[in-house]
Structure 1
């Protein structure tokens, strides 16, 4: 078997090869809600920037910075890397927000201090034989219409402004230059879930971005998400030849595993869901990669757990079927997500922790109002939401907006924007009057020692004892 060039993991044909030329299946988790925060992961409402601004107003700049630095430090440390290695996992996907590395008021100026936590976790994981994929999850101007790109609107303006695109190229040149010699970085995921409604800009932008990264770093694998939330891959027709050492990423959420999911097997919103349906959808989403004979990488997947044992048993069956499908097709994968407050995480903050004791009622209200797009069924107060849904359906019967249609459009504007924004202020108000020790206790609620392990999920994704490091100590950068 051929050697992987220069000691880096790389894509070669349908497989990843380690530095010694041996085939590697990447199996891991996404560290969601960390360097790119998400409302369902830590329980706030709205977007990260709105939440941070509100909490800053309550705590003041110095205590605000201290709290969030403590949270980021405890959320993932050496104990977490060792926990993942003990499960036999060998990869993490690390979502990052551009705000850590660049300020809107000073575009194109890269902030050195923004790399501190990213450097730390890449090193911690590398010491456990775990590769890191760096994923730019939130781009200036917002590359998609959803809260997880920190978008407070329903418009993805990144695709309309060259200024935003130029900034992302500059940022990736800086990231690639920093990690170009790091053998424990598996590669770069330059744009999470792009959603270019015109379908005219994303392809040429990818071509430009690939050229810019490759000019700085010719070694690391590129993980390219398809358009429309990593489900459409014809955008890559802009390349005359498929770029070498490149993976085309699919995201593979099962409808029955979402918050509004029905029985499994069974019908969810009128659509039948079973293993055969999951496999058909997986084959559809990976067709482009398989035709190019490149590695299959499922960048995100995983059901949402409800707390109801009967429902969660079915969610476990969904995951079991997906993992079996991935094994059959030798697909690498990254489960979403590692740690949260109990919705999807392999581990989650204990209900008895200071954080959950303080914010549990708020989280319940947010769910009741349907303001959490990921953690609620999207209904919210039916006396309001159904009336608006009926109005739009009646008055505009042909209305089918990008990306997911009328129902999702209405719930997004009505619940995850209009209702969520005043909830941001309620969340921040819960920090009022807290002393420094209390803030530390809140942040430390997310340390692994203070979390609960979702054992059925950990067991499902565990791959036995961690494989021995194939990178020698001398190979470390």
Structure 2
């Protein structure tokens, strides 16, 4: 067990510190990597559905080789040299529980640390803190695609056996990384939502913290709230000295008008400040440091200058409120990432063709429309409150259809030799960057170009 705390990030009061000096996390989420998100990677379906489609088309052995290559070549030394030049000091690393747990043998752990180790070793070399983010858990911690659910229900909160599996997994991970100071923290579960039982919610966090502390007394543990980590009303304070709290900031979900250039910037800032202030108020409740673990938006060439003002307005709030932050995301297939494959790369060519028949926004709109159609045609009208969870369940049905009709046919047209080279599109020399965002980031990190 680690006894030398040199370079370990620690909680001290309402600050993060390293070797006694205060630090703010300023960084990125890595991207759609060990947990694939369809709109970010450009392929319909959940993480599991996408991988099953590759296995069905190319065979399991080839599919395994493909994703092994994807995971090991998604980022490399040049990416970290770029991150270092930007001046960021942290990287949130999302991963799916399935890399470590076989659903049929939940008590046995797969030795699949090589992918996390690949990134953590680069973080150590470039002195960038890694924050391990469990982005998907058995049964799903929320109803949406990004936790790899196939039901549209947050079943994780319904079954203690599922939670016990994750509690054990975090003990396993903590035992592995307990002596690694460049792993700054454990982000226990990404974006819980539709949690209805406060006792279950609190008990899970208490148990997982206790499990980690059996082997690792030093690493920070991040607790996220309900409603995609924007609602902390259910969560009681925790007395562990190395616990901190994380929220996510996407204010345009409730106020989409802020994404229109017609809105006066002063008015937009007022809306942002109000929404951010409600989130930051949890600092008074818990008396611990805060981390905005996600903020960001989809970028487009046509409006990139306007979009940078939105990013600035969000980051200004973090900095003015002394809140650590992580932009979502570092790299993807030209959606929210600062780095992305060029349009002429094989990956972008494939996803460009897929985009002609599928995209995430249409999926969401169709899911809502189908719920309305079902209600209006066969039942009485339903309320907005009933409609909200039902559209997630409808979308899981649609994702099955989209994989069959909008993913597998494109893969079947792509010879294996060409498919196996797709991950090369994410190599640094095949990518381009948003220079406008780089300039904004450097303004807050103080890094010179």
Q: Same fold (TM over 0.5)?
A: yes
Residue 321 (structure 1) aligns with? 313
1 CA distance for matches of 2:425 and 2:292? 30
Shift, 1:45, TM fit:
1.0
Where in structure 2 are the equivalents of 1:304-343 lying within 5 Å? 304-309=298-303, 312-343=304-335
Say whether 1:460 aligns with 2:447.
Answer: no
Say whether 1:293 aligns with 2:293.
Answer: no
Residue 379 (structure 1) aligns with? 365
Q: Do the aligned partners of residues 448 and 210 (structure 1) sit closer, same or farther apart at CA in structure 2, a change above 3 Å counting?
A: same
Q: What's the RMSD between the two structures over aligned residues?
A: 2.6
Q: Deviations over 1:251-290 (max 9, x none)?
A: 01121799886415639xxxx9611111111111121124
Say whether 1:189 aligns with 2:191.
Answer: no
**Number of equivalent positions:** 440
Say whether 1:280 aligns with 2:280.
Answer: no
Where in structure 2 are the equivalents of 1:17-416 lying within 5 Å? 17-19=17-19, 21-112=20-111, 114-195=112-193, 196-237=195-236, 239=237, 242-255=239-252, 262-264=259-261, 266=263, 274-309=268-303, 312-367=304-359, 370-371=362-363, 378-380=364-366, 385=370, 388=373, 391=376, 395-401=380-386, 406=387, 408-409=388-389, 411-414=391-394, 416=395
SS of residue paired to 1:342: coil
Contact 1:265 1:273 in 2 (8 A): no
SS of residue paired to 1:153: coil
Q: Do the aligned partners of residues 396 and 124 (structure 1) sit closer, same or farther apart at CA in structure 2, a change above 3 Å counting?
A: same
Q: Deviations over 1:63-98 (max 9, x none)?
A: 111111111111122221221111000000001100
Q: Deviations over 1:286-324 (max 9, x none)?
A: 211244332120011112224432xx4332211111111
SS of residue paired to 2:325: strand
1 CA distance for matches of 2:336 and 2:14? 30
1 CA distance for matches of 2:93 and 2:250? 19
Shift, 1:419, TM fit:
2.7
2 CA distance for matches of 1:322 and 1:55? 38
2 CA distance for matches of 1:110 and 1:324? 42
Residue 469 (structure 1) aligns with? none
Shift, 1:397, TM fit:
4.9
Q: Deviations over 1:154-200 (max 9, x none)?
A: 21111111111111011000000000000100010011111213333
Shift, 1:13, TM fit:
1.4
In structure 1, the gaps of 5 or more residues are: 372-377, 467-477
Shift, 1:436, TM fit:
4.6
- What is the TM-score of this pair, normalised by structure 2? 0.91
Say whether 1:418 aligns with 2:397.
Answer: yes
Q: Deviations over 1:338-372 (max 9, x none)?
A: 1111111111121110111122121232128712x
Contact 1:154 1:413 in 2 (8 A): yes
Q: Deviations over 1:425-477 (max 9, x none)?
A: 231332225445412321111122211201112221222438xxxxxxxxxxx
2 CA distance for matches of 1:247 and 1:265? 38
SS of residue paired to 2:365: coil
Contact 2:371 2:390 in 1 (8 A): no
2 CA distance for matches of 1:386 and 1:176? 43
Shift, 1:37, TM fit:
1.1
Alignment partner of 1:449 out of 426, 429, 436: 429
SS of residue paired to 1:325: helix
